[in-house]
């Protein structure tokens, strides 16, 4: 559905994206992530034909973004971070107007408007002026606008921006349903939402793609070398020496002890889960064991590990 090859975009004295390449298959929900200023917004604007590139190629549905922009736009629904709406129009009126701008006429425009309002749960406010709507409903109108021409590809830039937790949950469920019929490229700072909705994540930093994998694989890669927390009772020097003697252990750090219980953080070498060996060692040495667990990683942890910054 999307093919990007050696894409570069330079501004005066600044390179936003530098020779990036990636593909998105039909039916995927892909989270496009990166720190502020990392360059993630540039491809999100190049693909809908809002920006040109310095060099490289990009295509949507087999059509070149730079040479066949009209055909590309027919296949894309784009929802920007701050949805531009006409406050003095009613919801249904606005969506019919947008449908007509996208080439739909007569009954086709009315039917498409009705379907978009149904999908985004807008029927109850269809006669209201857009200027009177809450932030949540305005976001839904923007999403219905992106959907009204039944595009093959949806590009959603911060779709939950400014929403409360209940509204975020509703949008998340909606995106999951839309993923059954559309390819979706989504950019957001709420990584937990990406973790729950995306089938793949692309992380960009300093204009370069640093990772492209499923959220589960990125988390597993980080978790496999996560810190293990151990709390045992025994002679401190003997315990530390025994732990450091394990070949799989990279480092051992003791924390505050409480009533003869020794709390220890153990960092293993990459791709090693040492919990089973630690349990066997505690049983062999007759150490009373009160706690043994490994840090549970999240997509945010993977993001920080890859980029060195918080989202």
pLDDT of the residue at 94 = 96
pTM, 2 dp: 0.76
Domain ranges of the chain: 2-221, 227-294
CA 62 to the chain's CA centroid: 25
CATH of domain 2-221: 3.40.50.300
> Cα(286)–Cα(233) distance, rounded to whole angstroms?
9
CATH of domain 227-294: 3.30.70.3100
Paired tokens of 75:
């296949």
Q: What pLDDT digit, counting tens, does each position of 172-203 carry? A: 888 888 888 899 999 887 787 788 889 999 98
The residues with which 63 forms a beta bridge, in sequence order, are 60
The residues with which 283 forms a beta bridge, in sequence order, are none
- Indicate the pLDDT class of residue 21, thresholds 50, 70 and 90: very high
pLDDT mean over 79-95: 92
Q: What pLDDT digit, counting tens, does each position of 251-300 carry? A: 899 887 777 899 999 988 766 788 999 999 999 999 999 999 987 777 87
Cα distances (Å, whole numbers) of residue 52 to 122, 139, 156, 301: 35, 27, 19, 34
């Amino acid at each position: 559905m999307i093919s990007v090859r050696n894409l570069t975009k330079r501004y005066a004295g600044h390179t936003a994206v530098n020779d990036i390449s990636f593909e998105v298959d039909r039916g995927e929900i892909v989270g496009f992530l990166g720190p502020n200023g990392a360059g993630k917004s540039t491809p999100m604007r190049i693909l809908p034909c809002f920006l040109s590139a310095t060099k490289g190629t990009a295509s949507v549905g087999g059509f070149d973004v730079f040479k066949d922009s009209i055909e590309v736009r027919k296949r894309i629904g784009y929802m920007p971070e701050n949805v531009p709406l006409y406050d003095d129009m009613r919801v249904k009126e606005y969506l019919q107007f947008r449908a007509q701008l996208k080439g739909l006429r007569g009954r086709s425009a009315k039917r498409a408007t009705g379907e978009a309002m149904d999908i985004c749960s807008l029927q109850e406010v269809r006669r209201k002026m857009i200027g009177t709507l809450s932030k949540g409903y305005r976001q839904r109108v923007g999403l219905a606008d992106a959907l009204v021409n039944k595009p093959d590809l949806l590009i959603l830039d911060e779709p939950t921006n400014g929403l409360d937790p209940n509204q975020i949950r509703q949008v998340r469920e909606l995106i999951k349903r839309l993923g059954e019929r559309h390819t979706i490229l989504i950019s957001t700072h709420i990584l937990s939402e990406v973790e729950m909705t995306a089938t793949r994540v692309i992380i960009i930093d300093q204009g370069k793609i640093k990772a492209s994998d499923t959220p589960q694989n990125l988390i597993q890669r980080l978790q496999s070398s996560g810190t293990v927390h151990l709390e045992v009772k025994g002679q401190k020097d003997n315990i530390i020496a025994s732990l450091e003697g394990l070949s799989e252990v990279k480092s051992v750090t003791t924390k505050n002890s409480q009533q003869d219980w020794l709390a220890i953080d153990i960092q293993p070498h990459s791709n090693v889960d040492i919990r089973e060996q630690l349990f066997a060692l505690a049983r062999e040495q007759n150490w009373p064991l009160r706690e043994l667990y490994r840090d549970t990683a999240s997509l945010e942890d993977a993001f920080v590990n890859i980029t060195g910054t918080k989202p």
